[in-house]
Structure formats: C-alpha cells, structure tokens
C-alpha cells in the first residue's frame, strides 16, 4: 500500500483542502478514504482479533468457574447460551485475518458482536435472579470496550452501540424484578454513557484521519524536497551544456577511487582530450555551432568508453577528461586513438583550423599501474604534459606519457 500522494495532483489538492478545514469538519472520501482504511487495517484487525480471543477465553473461564462455584441447576442454565461466544469469536477472527471487502468485514463484525452481546445477556436471563441484571450490565461493558478500542467506521460503531442498547432495553422490559418505567430510565441512562463513548471514539477517529493527512502531506513534501535535492546535486555535478559530468564530479570520483592513498588499487589511465583550434571554430561559425560541437564530441567520447566503469567529464572549455580504471598502456592508447578517429570521422566543420577542415582532437595519456604510488593530481599533470606536447607537435594525435630508464619523462606518439 502506497501512501505517497505526490504523483496524484487531485489527491494532493484534496489533502490540502481537508487540512485547511477545522479538525471536526474533516471527512474522508474516495481514494483518501480507501488509503486511510488500508493504512489502519493491520492494526485494527490485530486489535479486533485480540479482543475476540480475549472475550472467548474469558467466557470459557467464567463458565468453568460457574460450574465449580454455583449450584448445578444455575450453572447448567448458563452453559448453553455461554457456549455461543467461542465459535462466534473464532469466525470473526478468521474473517479478519486478511483484508476483504469492507461490507463483508463490517457485516461479520457487527453480526459477531450482536451474537456475543446476546450470549452474555442470555446467560443472565437464563440464570435469573441477581444474574439477570448483572449480566445485562456486563453486556453493556463488553459493548463499551469494543466501541473504545475498535478503530472502525462510525456507522459500524453506532450499529454496535444500538444493538447493545436495544438488547438491554428488550431484556429489561421483560425483567420481572423492575417496572417498565425503570427499564426505560435505565436504558436512557446507559444510552447517554454509550453515545458519549461513541462521540469520543469519533473524535479519536478524526484525529487519526488528520494525522494520516499530515503524513500524506509530509511524505509528499519530503519526496519533493528529495527530488529538489537530487536535481541540485545533479546540477552541481553535471555540465549543463553536454550533460556529462563536470570537473567537480570528476575530482570527487578521483578522490574516491584513490581513497587517500597514492595508488589506485586496479591501476588507471587518464586521458586529457582537447578540441584543436576550438576558438577558431567559434570565430568562424559562431558560438551556437561551438556548443553543438562540444555536445557531439562529448557524445562520441562516451560512446567509445565502457559505460559501466569508465568516467567522462568536461573539465573546462573544450577540454574533456577521461578516467579508465584497470587498463594498461596499450589499452589506454587504443581507447584514446579510437576516440580521436571517431571525432575526426564525424566530419564536424572547423574551417578556421590549421590542422584539418574538420574538428579534431589532441589527446594526452598517462597510466598508473596498481603498484605505482602517485596521486591523481600527479597523473593528471602527466596527462596534461602529454597533451601539451601533442598540441606542440602538430595536434590531432595521441601521445602517451611514461618514464624512461633514466627516471625522466618521455612522450611517445601512437600515430
């Protein structure tokens, strides 16, 4: 059962409308009423089942006590009407073990309560004497306890109260020990108490409904706040133009992968990609074409890496940073060359470029093995150095950065 109302504008509006009313004027209808009943059903059903079991056990214990303590004729007269309670209680328990149609469960509960109240009354009527009045009072007490603790619709509560008072009046009118006027007066007295209890039960139900409405509204607001936070977080970590990650997100990713150590446990390669003569593209074709070029280059880069493992970010301007965890030099150079060729093959125009009439990329590659202890910042500086030399030596190429045998750095081209 879903309590969220944020995906249903009509339900949301109805919740707000009801909460704008006074508490005593709250009336649930339609879908909200169904949701409320579904939300309280498990607890209500548990209480009703427990109450029925309690009444059945108490009835059996009382009958057993009467058989031991009372004269045999009186005890035996109580036995048959008292035996009604346990099977009735069992049937009601079974009917409330799982959700059913409201009318089915309402009918079963009201009918069960009627038979239980009738049984209690008949025990006293059958025994006669002092037991007559006493058991009628016990019957009212049983009804009042049910009214107080059963979180059921008001109509069901009123039905139980009316049945209890009706039985009480009927049997008191037949009571040879009191006058009819006294029977009516006693019924009116108990009626005021029972209906006060019904009114209290109604107030408790309305408060429960209002709490439920607050829960619906708060869940909606929490969900809206969570969505807003998710959007803000996404905006904070996403480049708004290309839709890929931005520099901040990549920095956090690098810190996470390195985990405070100077080693990436699986090793990693870093690619620094730069669009050749991008300023000239903007100057000749305009910034709209420049933006389209950035979007398409970002898409091509993403299409040439492993979506489930590699990371791509726009690092600034026309620069893109690609992180390839768990690859060696040969694999990193292969990915970089595939990206470079794909961008060149896309044929985006760049009439101002001195390299080609089409958009091209220069890429610097740096690789850290799992045994090396260098920080992500150092790895990035190596990729930057390789990119710088790639641009200095003609652009539209991939250069790999690695140390030579003398401990200095040497740049190798894969072209």
Give percent helix, percent strand, percent coil of the chain, each to the nearest 5: 65, 10, 25
How sure is the predictor about 226, in pLDDT bands with cuts at 50, 70 and 90?
Answer: confident
Q: Which token pair is 183?
A: 């029977």
Q: Which range is least confidently modeled, 76-90, 249-263, 350-364?
A: 249-263
Question: Looking at the predicted structure, is the pLDDT value of residue 409 above 50?
Answer: no
Q: Find how far residue 86's CA is from the centre of its chain.
A: 41
* Average of per-residue pLDDT across 376-383: 92
* Average of per-residue pLDDT across 373-382: 89
Q: How does DSSP classify residue 370?
A: T
Question: Looking at the predicted structure, is the pLDDT value of residue 353 above 50?
Answer: yes
Distance CA 212, CA 43 (A): 14
Distance CA 253, CA 78 (A): 79
Strand 398-403, strand 361-368: pairing: parallel
Question: Looking at the predicted structure, is the pLDDT value of residue 287 above 50?
Answer: yes
Q: Which token pair is 162?
A: 């009316």
DSSP for 1-18, written as a single string: -----TT-HHHHHHHHHH
Distance CA 272, CA 42 (A): 59
The residue ranges of DSSP E strands in 18-91, in sequence order, are: none
Question: Looking at the predicted structure, is the pLDDT value of residue 17 above 70?
Answer: yes
Domain boundaries, given as residue ranges, for the chain: 9-221, 247-413
Give the model's pLDDT for residue 358.
93
How sure is the predictor about 408, in pLDDT bands with cuts at 50, 70 and 90?
Answer: very low
pLDDT in tens, 321-344: 999 999 999 999 999 999 999 999
Give the model's pLDDT for residue 261.
65
Q: Which token pair is 77?
A: 């007269």
Please choose, from the candidates 126, 7, 132, 4, the residue with its C-alpha nearest in 3D space to the C-alpha of residue 73: 126
Q: Which token pair is 392?
A: 């200095």
Give the model's pLDDT for residue 406.
35
pLDDT in tens, 44-95: 999 999 999 999 999 999 999 999 999 999 999 999 999 999 999 999 999 9
Whether the predicted model's global pTM rises above the 0.85 cut: no
* Average of per-residue pLDDT across 29-45: 88
* Average of per-residue pLDDT across 370-374: 79
* Average of per-residue pLDDT across 21-38: 84
pLDDT in tens, 170-223: 999 999 888 999 999 999 999 998 999 999 998 988 888 888 888 888 888 888
What percent of the chain shows pLDDT beyond 90?
64
**Mean pLDDT (the chain, rounded):** 89
Question: Looking at the predicted structure, is the pLDDT value of residue 231 above 50?
Answer: yes
Question: Looking at the predicted structure, is the pLDDT value of residue 30 above 90?
Answer: no
Helices vs strands, H then E, count in the chain: 13, 6
Please choose, from the candidates 365, 355, 385, the residue with its C-alpha nearest in 3D space to the C-alpha of residue 321: 365
Give the model's pLDDT for residue 2.
47
Give the model's pLDDT for residue 259.
76
Kindly list the catalytic residues: 318
Architecture label for domain 247-413: 2-Layer Sandwich (3.30)
Please identify which residue in the block is written with the tokens 């005890």: 75
- Burial-class residue 133 by CB neighbours within 10 Å (0-12, 13-18, 19+): middle
Contacts of 50 (CB under 8 A, 6+ apart): none
Please choose, from the candidates 135, 134, 159, 133, the residue with its C-alpha nearest in 3D space to the C-alpha of residue 147: 159
- Burial-class residue 5 by CB neighbours within 10 Å (0-12, 13-18, 19+): buried
Rounded (10°) angle between helices 130-149 and 102-127 = 160
Give the model's pLDDT for residue 6.
52
């Amino acid at each position: 059962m879903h309590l969220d109302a944020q995906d249903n504008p009509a339900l949301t509006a109805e919740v707000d409308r009801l909460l704008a009313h006074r508490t005593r004027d709250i009336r649930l209808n339609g879908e909200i009423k169904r949701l409320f009943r579904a939300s309280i059903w498990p607890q209500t059903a548990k209480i009703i089942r427990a109450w029925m079991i309690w009444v059945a056990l108490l009835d059996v214990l009382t009958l057993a006590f009467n058989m031991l303590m009372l004269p045999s004729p009186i005890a035996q007269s109580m036995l048959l009407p008292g035996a009604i309670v346990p099977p009735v209680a069992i049937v009601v328990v079974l009917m409330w073990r799982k959700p059913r149609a409201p009318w089915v469960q309402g009918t079963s509960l009201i009918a069960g309560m009627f038979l239980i109240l009738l049984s209690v009354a008949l025990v006293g009527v059958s025994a006669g004497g002092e037991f007559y009045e006493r058991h009628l009072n016990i019957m009212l007490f049983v009804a009042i306890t049910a009214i107080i603790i059963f979180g059921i619709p008001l109509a069901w509560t009123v039905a139980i109260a009316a049945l209890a008072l009706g039985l009480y009046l009927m049997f008191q009118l037949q009571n040879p020990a009191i006058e009819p006027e006294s029977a009516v007066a006693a019924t009116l007295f108990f009626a005021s108490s029972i209906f006060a209890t019904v009114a209290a039960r109604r107030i408790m139900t309305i408060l429960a409904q209002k709490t439920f409405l607050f829960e619906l509204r708060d869940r909606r607001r929490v969900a809206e706040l969570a969505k807003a936070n998710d959007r803000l977080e996404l905006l904070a970590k996403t480049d708004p133009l290309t839709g890929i990650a931005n520099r901040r997100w990549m920095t956090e990713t690098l810190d996470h992968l390195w985990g405070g150590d100077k080693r990436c446990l699986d090793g990693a390669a870093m690619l620094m990609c730069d669009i050749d003569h991008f300023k000239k593209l903007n100057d000749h074709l305009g910034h709209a074409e420049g933006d389209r070029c950035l979007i398409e280059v970002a898409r091509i880069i993403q299409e040439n890496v492993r979506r489930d493992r590699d990371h791509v970010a726009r690092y600034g301007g026309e620069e893109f940073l690609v992180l390839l965890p768990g690859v060696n030099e040969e694999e990193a150079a292969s990915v970089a060359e595939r990206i470079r060729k794909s961008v060149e093959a896309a044929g985006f125009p760049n009439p101002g470029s001195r390299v080609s009439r089409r958009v091209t990329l220069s890429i610097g590659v740096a690789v850290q093995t799992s045994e090396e202890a260098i920080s992500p910042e150092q790895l990035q500086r190596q990729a930057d150095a390789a990119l710088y030399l790639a641009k200095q030596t003609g652009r539209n190429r991939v250069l790999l950065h690695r140390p030579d045998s003398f401990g200095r750095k040497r740049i190798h081209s894969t072209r």
